[in-house]
Structure 1
Amino acid sequence: MSTTRTRARIATILAGLLVAALFAAPTAAPAAADPTTRHRPSPPHVVGTATVPVYSYADAIRESVWVETPADSDGDGVRDRVAVDVVRPREAAAAGVRVPVIMDASPYYLCCGRGNESELKTYDAAGVIAKAPLFYDNYFVPRGYAFVAVDLAGTARSTGCEDVGGPAEVGSATAVVDWLNGRARAYTADGRRVSAAWSTGRVGMIGKSWDGSVANGVAATGVPGLATIVPISAISSWYDYMRYNGVRRAADYPGYLHSYVNGRGEQACADVLARLRADSAEETGDRNGFWAQRDYRPLAGRVRASVFVAHGVNDLNVTTNQFARWWQELAEQGVPRKLWLYQAGHEDPFDVRRGAWVDTLHRWFDYWLQGLRNGVMDEPRVDLETALGTWTTQRDWPAPGTRDVRVALGAGDGVTGTLGGRGAQPGRERAYVDESLSEDALVAEPGTGGSGRLVFLSGALTAPLRISGSPSVRLRIRVDRPTTELTARLVDYGTAERIRYDSSEGVRTLATESCWGASTAADDACYRDTEEITAVTDHAVLTRGWLDAAHHRSLRFTTPLRPDVWYTVTVPLNAYDAVVPAGHVLGLVLGQSDPDFTEIDDRDATVRVDLGRSELVLPVTGRAGLPSVAVAPSVVTAPAERSSARTAPDNRQVP
């Protein structure tokens, strides 16, 4: 063999090893770092370190295919096939330029809609995609990307059955990544085999809520070719979505979600629905194998993709622990990551900070999918909205320098306890009973008495207090029932303008529009503008936590409480990030059954708390602490009518 041929063969082998290493390591640089491609001419859609809109969106190739998955989730003896709608630049295909893929896998495309305007997919007379929801195709296809919209198994035009975060759902989206990398088969509607030879194999998944949860699940499989994910307000553990530490959020939740998005009809997936109901430990609230199968956090070590998380700190649908615990696991594995946190509730950052979000997302995809070294990974890791419309950056989350401060509980004036200072002596007890109070009733008028809650107040803060991370309450309790629900809330008492996250998630839709990409008659790129909804209020609940007391030892089984025994339990609160201003008062409010957020427990229990052996654990930055007070300060809030009703509202939401 000639020297020239030998060198060429060695170069080919080295290039293959570099590509393999690129997909194997979570810290790998994007594809353009490969020295074998460094001097290749840039495709037309790349100018410098950015992609630019040079391809026609109106003339883009639009096609619908069905990808075969390894599963037969509906038990009909045939492998499931998931519908995949593709929009990609025609000029790139004609020139032989392969393109990376932005993919949104969703159960909502035909049943319910996506985005603030609930857009649905539409098709032409031949059944080929005409309109894909959201702006991703309009904006990115002209810039040299393909957009792929996947109907999860059992939804819309796909076969199989939706198993709500389980292996069929995650596997159906994973199969599409495999197809885009030549490892799975796909067919047209008339049965012709079709490949994705136009794809570079590099895939970025994005999506809000359920869609983002699927992206987390697919990343946790470690599937090669998935280069990045952008989970927005997404679930990382389905148990923590439907159960709050052993407390049921609502009855028949997995069955409800399955039926909500089922595209197959009742009979086709009746067996799957029955298994969801049978296997989810509805009666006990235990975290069993069903839920472990739907927990992606322990699999963070498999993640090869970078992760760009976005979440509202006031999200009461997909609570903040979903991102916080996933973020922590990814950090421990050294996964490249970025985070946006904002004041709104269950919202997409496109409807919070639109221009900056599109720009950042563009640079993120350019880096991880196109291999363009644009500096996005050299910027601070976290963008944080600290107050309404006020954004800052920091190098990580929780805020660097955060430490856990143990805050003592004091007896106070016998009606309202104190928070901070030396606290009560061990053995000093206070009791409260289960009255199923609404949240408004629990936190209003904290200086007045009431048997259904315990309230503890700090003194007026002498300096701003930054809370960043996951608080918890450690309680020494004795309960006169085998169990009860325990709830805890941190409350900021003080007048301020705040986001109204209880009203349309804190965002109002306006009459004006802005456009983000190219349009066609069937699929325009224009969306109604939005703004944050605010109000001046005299208090606000910062974060909440729940625990079924009989699950205090383990979420996998119950340990009924004995009335003559003292137990130490921990009530974890949802992750949060906020600054409580100087002059405000921080409150801790304890309750039991919580009809606003969980299925009513209503065991009429009485809980006795040993104040001296109980404490609040508060993650704070700097040296700030809570001022010591002998008696709780006077705090006045708008009175709220206490609920006497025993019928719970339907707390089921859809992610």
Structure 2
Amino acid sequence: MQLLAARTTRHTRPRRRLRLTAATGAAVTAAVLLGGLLGAPAAGAAPDASAAGEVVPLAGTGARLGADGKTAAVHDYEAAIKESVWVDAPDFDGDGRGERIAVDIIRPAELDGVERVPVIMDASPYYACCGRGNESEKKTYDENGVIKSFPLWYDNWFVPRGYAVVQVDMAGTGRSTGCADQGGRSDILSAKAAVDWLNGNATASFADGAPADAYWTTGATGMIGKSYDGTLANGVAALGTEGLETIVPIGAISSWYDYDRWQGLPFSYGYPNYLSTYVAGGRHLSVDCSAQLERMRVDAADETGEHTAFWDERDYRDGTLGDASRVTASALIMHGLQDTNVDTQNATRWWEALGEHGVERKMFLTRLGHVDPFDSDREEWVDTLHRWFDHELLGVDNGITEEPAVRAEIAPGEVVHSDTWPVTDRVATLRPGADGTLALGARGRKGEAAWTNNPNGRLAQMLGSGAMDSRLLFTTGRLTDDLRLSGAASLTTTVTTGAPTGQLSVALVDYGPAPRVSASGDGARTLATETCWGAASAVDDACYREVERRIEQSDLQVLGRGWARLAGGGKHSLTVELQANDVLVPAGHQLGLIVTGYDGGTVRVDGAASAYRIDLAATRLNLPVAGPMRSFAPGASLVPGTVSATDAPSDARRIPLG
């Protein structure tokens, strides 16, 4: 193991935006003006210094700018320094001993003691138990316990370009001590400890006890990760952590209540305990986390669905541990608009909260489920991420923040860009009628509509036409124009039930034949072919299997769902917010509103055939629309084709996050 001499001074880099000087500009200006487009490497190819062409040093760093205006692959990946250290952290699990957080590092050897480098960090609970990425890669170690190979592609691509890549085992997982606590203090502060060490605000040691100093870094860190990993990035950013310059949360959580609950309805019982136990799998350490798990079980309030102090701690937008007002890092937010694991509100509400506090941000939305864009949109995503990190961590003025802030796939393969999101503040108010119609501004509608709860109900069973006792269905006429829905729809209503504890489920549906990204299996299919992105070594070939969208002809698409708990019988006036979306509904289609009780996406709190009814005069569907209001002209009743269960989103919502 290579022992590094401790340094007595640290360099803390202030946020900066380095503009290319006249001396460096000549070599790169043309490429920057062209947007720095990247061609995909051929299968088996690994970009390296030989492909970089003329390069220009970037002052104060070990990075070199290529003719395309991006950092070039000029450093030897196979010779890179690999290190494993343990960062000292507070006692999270209450055993009286401080924690040791495992941090694995790879960085360019040529720059050691010569130039400092920025850090791309992926903190995760999954490196030992489950693996990362579509190939479920895990870390491997040599006989001395030093990191040997890194999961994912970040090291292959960015280390040759003058970055260090750091992978952190969250407390209670992998080689770190402590106990996991599903997004709470232990999880977030263990990841923060690694950022603090990189910025000179924490201590660390090697396996033999020798002190480890991060003298080799500029102190600028960018955190990235999909799902739980990106959630950790959100949480660390919400602490206002010094040295954290940017975050890239991919399909990540910004409020754990929004992951486990929806307006008082839990999606499962005991999930925080289950997930925290699950991610601890594969550890060689014998740790008793029973006391912490019991506290989580009680504090999560499954039986009431309340937003307790437990959830306040795990809310990074407006919580007790951190909040959006403290964020100083920029954010590149990525999410799949058909993600039914981590609902879209986790991204869109985070986007909104960061915007309210003036945070620099971009957003990348796909027409897929819980899928990493490296798999689904590889060439575009690598280029976007490369330019983003160059700008945010190295200060390269490559124009990425002057480009439209939002990229959204509103139909299969149809990508649009905008400076704001949602793209409209217009709300179309549609009202349901006793005849099953749903019309724009139809005032004076009176009466009630009723249904009987089906304790075994599933949304897929309720999508077809015709009368059903277990749900209400209201439809518009056929749209006269293409209509873009951008944002979160909602239903305002007054519902009455005699159930001691009732539940309301709402769905917005696009009825009409069209090719769509499948609602099952996250809409993605892994292929047998591979492409290679980055430099290779004897233990890491940088090659990953390609993924394509599963495009299927279907008669309908569920655009959003929402749920609410009705505490106590009687009358309840409420607004149910649906999952946010950005989607194109073609002319000739109809929009449908389904209102029911239990559906398979939630825990069943009403297990009886209870009676429900809504007041039509008090009910309205609020749609965020971009398009002519004349689209909602009255029309014929719904006559969809055959509907199968695969047309509905999966009900298996609460699965491990990875």
Q: Provide TM-score, normalisation by structure 2.
A: 0.88
The residue number in structure 1 matching 2:388 is 364
Cα-to-partner distance string for 1:228-277 (whole Å, 9 max, x where unaligned) = 00000000000110111111101111011011011376752111111111
Correspondence for 2:7: none
Instruction: Please give the alpha-carbon distance, in whole angstroms, between the structure 2 residues aligned to 1:150 and 1:75.
Output: 21
Counterparts of 1:381 and 1:55 in 2: how far apart (Å)?
A: 32
2:95 matched to 1:79?
A: no
- 2:74, 2:160 within 8 Å by CA — same for their partners in 1? yes
Local SS of the residue matching 1:309: strand
Equivalent runs, 1:206-217 vs 2, <5 Å: 206-217=224-235
CA 1:527–1:597: 2 relative to 1, 3 Å: farther
Give the AA of the match of 1:89. Answer: P
Decide whether aligned partners of structure 1 residues 424 and 453 sit closer, same or farther in structure 2, where only a CA change above 3 A counts. Answer: farther
Give the aligned residue type for 1:222.
Answer: G
- Counterpart residue number, 1:553: none
1: CA distance, partners of 2:92 / 2:167? 21
Q: CA deviation at 1:402?
A: 3.4
Amino acid in structure 1 at the alignment position of 2:478: A
Looking at structure 2, the residues matched to 284 and 200 of structure 1 have their Cα atoms a distance apart, in angstroms, of 48
Q: Which residue of 1 aligns with 2:211?
A: 193
Q: Which residue of 1 aligns with 2:426?
A: 403
Q: Does the alignment pair 1:635 with 2:636?
A: no
Alignment pair present for 1:485 and 2:487: no
**Equivalent residues of 1:495, 1:538 under 8 A apart:** yes
- 1:272 corresponds to: 292
Query: Are 1:154 and 1:264, in contact at CA under 8 Å, matched by a contact in 2?
Result: no
Letter paired with 2:177: T
Quick check: 133-142 or 481-490, which moved more? 481-490
Segment drifting more, 141-150 vs 376-385: 376-385
- Give the paired residue count: 603
- The CA deviation string for residues 387-410 of structure 1, in whole angstroms up to 9 with x for no partner, is 2122221112111x3311211111
Counterparts of 2:105 and 2:451, CA distance in 1: 58
2:571 counterpart of 1:547: no
* 1:523 correspondence with 2:528: no
Which region of structure 1 is more displaced relative to structure 2, 76-85 or 229-238?
76-85
Residue 421 of structure 1 and its aligned partner are, at CA, apart by: 3.8
Moved more, 475-484 or 578-587: 475-484
User: What letter matches 1:330 in structure 2?
Assistant: L
**1:204–1:510 Cα change, 3 Å:** same
Amino acid at match of 1:77: G
The answer to whether structure 1 residue 30 and structure 2 residue 54 are counterparts is: no
Letter of the 1:529 partner, please give it. Answer: E
Distance in 2 separating the partners of 1:358 and 1:572: 34
Aligned partner of 1:654 in structure 2 is 656
Kept after mapping to 2: 8 A contact 1:437/1:594: yes
Q: Could you tell me which of 54, 70, 91 is aligned with 2:110?
A: 91
Partner Cα distance (1:641, 1:34) in 2: 59
Could you say which residue in structure 2 is the equivalent of 1:554?
Answer: none
Does the Cα contact within 8 Å between 1:460 and 1:633 map onto a contact in 2?
Answer: no
Q: Are 1:109 and 2:127 counterparts?
A: yes
Deviation at 1:601, TM superposition (A): 3.7
Amino acid at match of 1:286: E
Q: Which residue of 1 aligns with 2:529?
A: 512
Q: What is the aligned partner in structure 1 of residue 583 from structure 2?
A: 578
1:283 aligns with 2:325: no
| Contact preservation (8 Å) 1:498, 1:537 | yes
Q: 1:538 to 1:650 in 2, by over 3 A?
A: closer
Shift of 1:639: 4.6
User: CA separation in 1, counterparts of 2:59 and 2:194?
Assistant: 30
Partners of 1:411 and 1:423 within 8 A in 2: no
Alignment of 1:34-433 (within 5 A): 41=59, 43=61, 45-47=63-65, 49-70=69-90, 72-94=91-113, 96-262=114-280, 263=283, 268-298=288-318, 299-399=323-423, 401-412=424-435, 417-423=436-442, 425=444, 427-433=446-452
1:516-562, Cα deviation, whole Å (9 max, x unpaired): 00111212200001111111011111111111122xxxxxxxxx233
| Residues in 1 aligned to 2:327 and 2:453: alpha-carbon distance in whole angstroms | 44
Following superposition, the deviation at residue 101 of structure 1 comes to 0.1
**1:446-525 alignment runs, 5 A limit:** 446=465, 448-503=466-521, 505-525=522-542
Structure 1 position 624, deviation (Å): 2.9
CA contact (8 A) 1:425 1:611 kept: no
Gaps of 5+ in 2: 1-10, 26-56
| 8 A contact 1:32–1:372 mirrored in 2 | yes
Q: Matched residues, percent identical? A: 47
TM-aligned CA deviation for residue 41 of structure 1: 4.0
C-alpha change, 1:422 and 1:398, in structure 2 (3 Å) is closer
Q: How big is each residue's C-alpha offset from its partner over 1:485-529, in whole Å with a ceiling of 9 and x where there is no partner?
A: 1111110100001111312x1111111110000111212200001
For structure 1, the residue ranges without an aligned partner over 5 or more in a row are 1-15, 24-28, 551-559, 643-647
Q: Cα distance, 1:97 vs. partner?
A: 0.3
TM-score computed with the length of structure 1 as normaliser: 0.88
Query: 1:182 and 1:265, CA in 2 relative to 1: closer, same or farther beyond 3 A?
Result: closer
AA aligned to 2:230 is G
Change (3 A) 1:221 1:502: same
- Which shifted more, 300-309 or 379-388? 379-388
Q: What amino acid sits opposite 1:402 in the alignment?
A: D
Instruction: Return closer, same or farther for 1:429/1:278 CA change in 2, 3 Å cut-off.
Output: same
* Shift, 1:634, TM fit: 3.6
Instruction: Please list the CA deviations of residues 31-50 of structure 1 after superposition, one character each: whole Å capped at 9, or x if unmatched.
Output: 66999x99984655322642
Counterpart in the other structure of 2:33: none
**Distance in structure 1 (CA, Å) of the matches to 2:479 and 2:651:** 37
Is the Cα–Cα contact under 8 Å of residues 459 and 585 in structure 1 kept in the other structure? yes
Write the distance in 1 (CA, Å) between the matches of 2:434 and 2:630. Answer: 19
Over aligned residues, Cα RMSD in angstroms?
Answer: 2.3
Bigger shift: residues 454-463 or 381-390: 381-390
Say which SS state the counterpart of residue 294 (structure 2) adopts: helix
1:653 maps to a residue whose letter is I
Letter in 1 for 2:174: A
Residues 279-318 of structure 1, C-alpha deviations (whole Å, 9 max, x = no match): 1112111110000000001111100000000100000000
Could you tell me whether the CA contact under 8 Å between 1:458 and 1:627 is conserved in 2? yes
- 1:422 Cα shift? 4.8
Q: 1:67-114 CA deviation, whole Å, 9 max, x = no partner?
A: 0112x12222211111000000000114x1000000000000010010
The secondary structure found in structure 1 opposite 2:401 is helix
SS in 2 for 1:201: strand
Shift of residue 423, structure 1, vs aligned partner: 3.5
Give the corresponding residue for 1:591: 596
